[in-house]
Structure 1
């Protein structure tokens, strides 16, 4: 069967993603009426309904789901082919869908992404910042930045970028009021700001130092699934937070936050660039991964220089 209008397939894909024709119309920059007409034309051409329509939502029929799987891949391949053709002429073009943890995205990545955008004006960067682990394949993400074991998946390719150490820290004001713990076990007597990781509240913090490994049970009056909010609570003097030193780099440097256990090492996690393994990687994605790798290597060089005095 020959499809007369590729735009009709785009309506199918975006309606499935957004859950409504209005959402699809917004993405495709057409009117809802035009999107509806395109979907009806596609259904008429196929002789079958692709969605079950109701006043609340549009739900894919089995036939619609089958076509969606093929249409999404076909449109993706077309976009990649166009991007590759343009990249061979020296210009990178197309959309880069990037997902990153909230604090890392806001505090570290933004200037690096700005530099990349200036170098490649034909690339549109669509950044999603959230501490929810996104499904790279289902959510149509080109590149996700993930810490540690979150990167492990046989259907994904993970390139290590940086080794980050978690640090327990608080404001000087909090420590003046409550005192600084001399040993990790003393954290049990402090108000600890905890994170929800993978849907579970993290109530055990791990440290190494003085020839021993310690796992301490912590608690406090605040917990959150967003690392940026946990950081802001710590900056407000609400308690001790245990987060990647990479995310807190600027605040540790200017003294707004200080490590509470300087003789102890927190857990280490490798930050990965994660992308699907089952498809061709567009030149713009490879270019961004290389750019971020260079930025993180420069950061690691600064860390080594600071450690050597």
Structure 2
């Protein structure tokens, strides 16, 4: 191992954050000369230049940026490990990097994130909200919440996926839209309606599938609008401009309130399971395990609430109990 002093990595991190060795030295409580010597030692040990230096600023090189990303994580893991071995201070600490779908985040997850942070004040949440399928390795995400098939995410990457719940797509529209255009009774009727669509993997999701008694039909949905953000399709449906076909979990609150009306209830929508995808199962920080367990528990509570109140549940928990069954 070429890196001999962990404090040299702290100089790298703080120099990057502050833009200068002087800023790093102030944070670390050392002299600028000492900070410079430590950074130089790190560069010599690795045989690469980590910063491009000028009279005005210090800019990370490509090698410096790569090492910085790993150094930040390494220091966070050490911080968490130190907290765990001190009996009086076993709190979860560090940055939790989460990627989640836009509509699910806005319609359901935000208050859960707040609750988790209140419970664990030592954790800092870095949230990436997007319907783009993020690469948890390349984008340096601790956990990605993903709908649908995740086999492409795991292929060749050694990733771990934990099934959080089963849900399905449901067809729905606002009462105002149905008052103007009528209610479709069969999938074929959708040809006379307007759909609000969104993109999946960069392509418009406009071919909708419905099943009944083991047979499935496909409908090429006419649409005058689409977006790369599923939350916008949700808002368009609420505004009464068209019909949408989305995960029931995203729509649960609006279906319960009557803001959206479920259509073709005798037909089954496509399965749309929700997973937590992790970069590896070799070492999962405690804060990440705690977060995934927390979200799984809240989803289970949601299903229990629907059952206790006599409603068909919007989701079904995985068909196993206890901690995650990890699929690698």
CA 39–146 in structure 1, closer or farther in 2 if over 3 Å, else same:
farther
Offset, 1:118 = 2.3
Decide whether the 8 Å contact of 1:195 with 1:227 is kept in 2: yes
Matches of 2:35 and 2:103, distance apart in 1: 40
Secondary structure of 1:133's match? coil
Decide whether the 8 Å contact of 1:194 with 1:219 is kept in 2: no
- Structure 1 position 34 matched with structure 2 position 23: yes
TM-score (norm 2): 0.77
Match of 2:167 among 164, 185, 190: 164
- Structure 1 position 307 matched with structure 2 position 276: no
The match for 1:242 is: 245
CA 292–87 in structure 1, closer or farther in 2 if over 3 Å, else same:
farther
Offset, 1:236 = 0.7
Matches of 1:98 and 1:87, distance apart in 2: 28
Decide whether the 8 Å contact of 1:162 with 1:300 is kept in 2: no
Structure 1 regions of 5+ residues with no counterpart? 16-23
Decide whether the 8 Å contact of 2:208 with 2:218 is kept in 1: yes
- Comparing 154-163 with 65-74, which one deviates more in the overlay? 65-74
Alignment of 1:138-157 (within 5 A): 138-150=138-150, 152-153=153-154, 154-157=157-160
Offset, 1:72 = 5.4
Matches of 2:117 and 2:36, distance apart in 1: 38
Decide whether the 8 Å contact of 2:84 with 2:91 is kept in 1: no
- Structure 1 position 198 matched with structure 2 position 198: no
CA 79–222 in structure 1, closer or farther in 2 if over 3 Å, else same:
farther
The match for 2:325 is: none
The match for 2:264 is: 261
Match of 1:174 among 168, 174, 177: 177
Decide whether the 8 Å contact of 2:99 with 2:128 is kept in 1: yes
CA 79–276 in structure 1, closer or farther in 2 if over 3 Å, else same:
farther
Offset, 1:233 = 0.6
Offset, 1:59 = 7.2
Structure 2 regions of 5+ residues with no counterpart? 26-31, 314-328
- Structure 1 position 220 matched with structure 2 position 223: yes
The match for 1:19 is: none
The match for 2:10 is: 7
Offset, 1:83 = 4.8
TM-score (norm 1): 0.81
- Comparing 73-82 with 194-203, which one deviates more in the overlay? 73-82
CA 88–163 in structure 1, closer or farther in 2 if over 3 Å, else same:
farther
